A = this chain, B = another copy of it.
C-alpha cells in the first residue's frame, strides 16, 4: 500500500465540533489549533475543519446526497494519519456535531481495502475537549469507543482537555496564559499520536 512506503510527512486533521459556525470564537477550535501546533513539533502537518461551517447532513453513509458536504471532509480524514476530534462539552457529554461526525464515520465499517481492512485502519485518533465544567473523561470515552469501532487506534493518553471547577462559567479561551497542565497534556498527546501514527504507517495491521 502506498502509505506504508511513503516518506511524506505525517498528516493530521482536526475536526472541530463546536456548535457555532465561524467567526464565533470557539474554545474547542483554540485547543484543536494548539494540538496541531504541538504536532508540528513532531513534523506532522495538518489542518483544522470547523464542521459547523460546512453543510454536513445527518446520516450513516459516506454521502447523503443533496449537497451534503461530508464527502470532502471524508477525503481529508482518509488523507490524514491522525484524526483529532475537538469538541465542547454540553451537559457533560460530547456535542451533537461531534456525534454527527462519529455517525458519518460509522459508514467506514463497510468501506474496506482489498484485504478486508477498513480504509481508516492504521490511523490514530486523539481527542481535545473543553467545557466550562465537568465532562471531559466521559467525552473521551464516547469518542474512543466510536473511533476504535471504526478502525482508529487510540494512543496512550489520547486526550487533552480543560474544564473549570463545578458549575463555573469561565471558558478555556479566556484563560490566558493557558493552564500549564493542559499545555503539558497536549504535548504528551501530540508526541504519542505522532509516534504511533508513524509506527502504523510503516507496518499496517494484518488483513481482517
* A89 to B123 alpha-carbon distance, docked (Å): 25
User: Residues of B contacting A36 with CB < 8 Å?
Assistant: none
Q: Convert A125-153 into 0s and 1s, putting 1 for each residue whose CB lies closer than 8 angstroms to a CB of B.
A: 00000000111111011101110111111
A1 within 8 A of B: no
In the complex the two chains form, is B158's CB within 8 Å of A148's CB?
Answer: yes
User: Residues of B contacting A192 with CB < 8 Å?
Assistant: 205-206
Give the residue of B162, B182, B185, B191 whose beta carbon is less than 8 angstroms from that of A206: B191
Secondary structure at the A interface, as helix, strand, loop or mixed, is mixed
In the complex the two chains form, is A161's CB within 8 Å of B153's CB?
Answer: no
In the complex the two chains form, is A166's CB within 8 Å of B141's CB?
Answer: no
In the complex the two chains form, is B185's CB within 8 Å of A195's CB?
Answer: no
In the complex, what residue of chain B is closest to A203 when comparing beta carbons?
Answer: B199
Q: Convert A92-109 into 0s and 1s, putting 1 for each residue whose CB lies closer than 8 angstroms to a CB of B.
A: 111111011011001000
In the complex the two chains form, is B149's CB within 8 Å of A167's CB?
Answer: no
Of listed A120, A140, A157, A208, residue having the most chain B CB within 10 A? A157
* A122 to B208 alpha-carbon distance, docked (Å): 23
Which A positions have Cβ atoms within 8 angstroms of B? 19-20, 52, 58-60, 90-97, 99-100, 102-103, 106, 118, 120-122, 133-138, 140-142, 144-146, 148-159, 161-168, 179, 181-182, 185, 188, 191-192, 195-196, 199-200, 203, 205-206, 208
Given contact pairs A138-B145, A141-B145, A166-B181, a sample of 6 additional A-B residue pairs in the complex whose CB atoms are under 8 Å apart: A19-B103, A91-B106, A93-B137, A121-B156, A151-B157, A155-B205
**Contact sample, A vs B, 23 pairs, CB 8 Å cutoff:** A58-B96, A90-B102, A91-B102, A91-B106, A91-B137, A91-B150, A92-B136, A92-B138, A93-B99, A93-B146, A134-B135, A135-B138, A138-B141, A141-B141, A141-B142, A141-B144, A144-B148, A148-B157, A149-B157, A153-B154, A154-B154, A161-B166, A195-B203
